[in-house]
Amino acid sequence: MKRLILLFKRKKTLFIFLAGFACTLILIYPFNKAVSYTSTDNYCNSCHVHDHAEDSWRLSAHVNNKSGVVVHCVDCHLPPKEEGYLKAKAYHGAKDLYGFYFKDSADYKWESKRTAELANTFTYESSCKKCHSNLYPATISTKGADSHMHYENHNETMTCLNCHMHTGHYNPNYQHAQNQSFGDEEGPKELFTEATTISSFENYVENIPGSSVSFSMVAIDGGEFLLGSPEDESYRRKDEGPQRKVKVSPFFMAEVEVSWDEFLAWFGQTASEGRKEAETNLEEVDAISGATPPWGAPDQGWGKGQRPAITMSHHAAVQYCRWLSHVTGKTYRLPTEAEWEYAARGGKQTAYPFEGSPKDYSELSFWNKWLGVDTAVIGRYVSYKANSNGKSQLADMVKANPYGLKNMNGNVAEFCSDWYSADTYKNYKEEELIDPKGPSRGREHVVRGGSFRSDASELRSAARSYTETKNWLKTDPQMPKSIWWYSDANHVGFRVVCEVPENIEIK
C-alpha cells in the first residue's frame, strides 16, 4: 500500500512537472514569435511611417554595401540580447505605440530630431561595437585610424554617433570628405568695383568689391545701460552679474548675421591663400588669408544664400573681418560683449526687447511644457526652438528690434571679440565703464544670443555663453584639427560692427 502511495506521488509530481513544462513551451512559443515578429524591419516601418526613415536606411552603408550584409533596425536601435534587449524593446515599443496612436506624425519636427544628442537615446553604442569590434581593420585610412584613436582617448565624452551619425540613414550632406567645390560661384554676375562711401552717421548698404554681395548696416547711437541681468530675472546665471553701468560709443552694426553670400565672398577671393591646418601661430596670419576647404557641408544641407553662415571658427570670423576691412577701407570687427548687449536690448532693460518675460515663454516651466506657450509675440521677433524646425532661418522671417536689428536674440548665436570669464563683471572696478573690452586674456571667447535650438530662457539679452573649441571639434577627422571650421557647432555665427570713421560728425 505504501509503495502504491509513493508511486502515485511520484507520478503526480512527474505529471505536474510535465504539464508545467508543456504550458511553459506553449507560452514561450507565441512570446518568442511575438518578439521575433515585432523585431522585423517591416513591423518597425509600420509604426515609423515617415518615408525618409526607410528610404535613407535602404541607401545607407548598412544596406547598400559591397558585402551584401543588411543591418536591421533592431541591430542598432536595441542593445545586444545579453545587455537588456527585452527591457529596451518594451520601453521603446511602448513609446512608439503611444506616438503612433495618439500623435500626428505630420506634426513631428524631424529635422530637429536628427542630432547626435537625441540619437544616443535610441541608438546603442554596445550594438555598434558588437559588429565593429575591430576599430583598426587593414582597410582603414590613416585619417580614419587617427579619428578612432581620438575616440578611444575620449570615449567618456564621445560615442560612435559623433562621427557616424548618418551611417544607418544616408544623408549626402554629411560625408567626411573635403568639399573642394565649396563656395564656387554659379554663373557670371555683375561685380561691385568699389565699396560704399559713408559721409554721415546713418544707415548704409555696404558693397563688397569684387563680388555681387551687399549688406545693410545700422547706425547705433551711443548711450548708457546696465550690463548684465538683475538678480531677480528668471533663469539668470551667476556669470551675468553683478550689473555694471556701461557707456557705449556710437557704432554701426549689421542688420542681420553675416550670410553665406557674404562669407563665401571672402572664401572665394582668399581660399587659394589658405594656410595649412598645422599653422598654429594665429597672430602671424595676415589679413587676407582664407580658410582651407571644409569637410562635409558646413551649411548642414539647409542652404546657403541669405541664411546665416555657420560652423566657421572664431578665428575664421576674425579673419573675415580683417579681410572685409581691407577690401572696403573701413574698420570692421566683431562686436564687444558690451556693444552686443547694448544693441540687443534696443534701449530696454527688460529680459527681452519685446513684451513678455522668460517665464511666459520658456518650456523649462512645467506648465508651459505641458500646456503649451503662446508664441504670438516672441515668434514675431525671434527664430528659436519653438518655431525654427530645427535649423537656421532667413532673417526676413522676423521683425527688427527697436534699433532696427533682426534676430539679435535668436536664429544663430553670435561671436563677440571678448575673452570669456565667469567673473568679468565682478572684476570691473570702475563705477562707470566706457567701452569695456573684457578680460585681457583667456582660453575661450564670448558667444551671445540664443539660436534656432534654444529655449526661450537662453534668448534673454543678458544671457552669456562661450566657445567650446575642444567639444566643437570632436568629429573633425583631421589631425591637427582645423583652425577654420567647427565640425560640431552648427548653431553659432556672427555679425559685424563697423567703427565710425574719425571724419564723420555725430550729432
CB 431 within 8 A of CB 355: no
Q: Is 270 left (phi over 0), alpha (psi -120 to 50) or beta?
A: alpha
Lowest mean pLDDT among 53-67, 203-217, 266-280: 266-280
Q: What percent of the chain has pLDDT over 70?
A: 83
What pLDDT, on a 0 to 100 scale, did the predictor assign at position 270?
85
Distance CA 156, CA 133 (A): 18
Q: Which of 34-43, 233-242, 464-473 has the lowest mean pLDDT?
A: 34-43
Candidate ranges 79-93, 146-160, 421-435; pick with highest mean pLDDT: 421-435
| Residue 100: all three cell numbers together | 503612433
pLDDT (tens digit, 9 = 90+) per residue, 407-418? 999 999 999 999
Q: Who wins on pLDDT, 54 or 326?
A: 326
All three cell numbers of 263: 562669407
Identify the residue with better confidence: 506 or 496. 496
Q: Looking at per-residue confidence, does 469 or 158 come out higher? A: 469
Q: What is the pLDDT of residue 51?
A: 62
C-alpha dihedral (215, 221, 226, 230), degrees to nearest 10:
-50
List where CATH 3.90.1580.10 sits in the chain. 204-498
pLDDT at 9 over 60: no
Count of other CB atoms within 10 angstroms of residue 38: 14
Instruction: Check residue 286 and give its pLDDT.
Output: 47
The H-assigned helical ranges of 247-313 are: 260-270
User: What pLDDT sits at residue 180?
Assistant: 60
CB neighbour list of residue 126: distance below 8 Å, 6 or more residues apart: 79, 80, 83
pLDDT higher than 50, residue 281: no
CA distances from 161 to 121, 147, 151, 355, 411 (A): 11, 13, 11, 40, 25
Name the band, by pLDDT with cuts 50, 70 and 90, for residue 279: very low
Between 314 and 55, whose confidence is greater? Answer: 314
For the ranges 177-186, 283-292, 477-486, which has the lowest average pLDDT?
283-292
pLDDT of residue 458: 97
Residue 491 Cα to chain centre, angstroms: 4
Tell how far CA 456 is from the center of its chain. 16
The most confident of 401-405, 430-434, 503-507, by mean pLDDT: 401-405
SS (H, E, C) 32-71: HHHHHHCCCHHHHHHHCCCHHHHHHHHHCCCCCCCCCCCC
If you average pLDDT over residues 455-461, what whole number do you get? Answer: 97
Mean pLDDT value across residues 7-31: 60
Task: List the 214-220 sheet strands across, edge first.
Answer: 204-207, 214-220, 251-254, 497-498, 332-333
| Position 282 pLDDT exceeds 50 | no
Backbone phi, psi, residue 406, to 5°: -105, 135
Q: Concatenated DSSP letters for 209-259?
A: TTSS-EEEEEEE--EEEEES--TTSTT--GGG-S-EEEEE--EEEESSPPB
Higher pLDDT, 274 or 420: 420
pTM for the model: 0.80
Q: What's the pLDDT score for residue 284?
A: 44
Average pLDDT, the chain: 84
DSSP notation for 126-159: HHHHHH---SS-TT--HHHHHHHHHHHHTTTT--
Does 507 have pLDDT greater than 70?
yes
> Do residues 452 and 385 touch, judged by C-beta distance below 8 A?
yes
pLDDT at position 283 over 50: no
- The angle formed by the CA atoms of residues 451, 293 and 491, to the nearest 5 degrees, is 5
CATH class of the domain defined by 204-498 = alpha beta
| pLDDT bracket for residue 349 (50, 70, 90) | very high
| pLDDT number for residue 176 | 56
Residue 125 exposed, middle or buried by CB count within 10 Å (0-12, 13-18, 19+): middle
Q: Per-residue pLDDT averaged across 138-149, rounded?
A: 76
| One-character DSSP codes across 458-490 | GGSTT-EEE--TTGGGTT--SSSPPSSB-TT-T
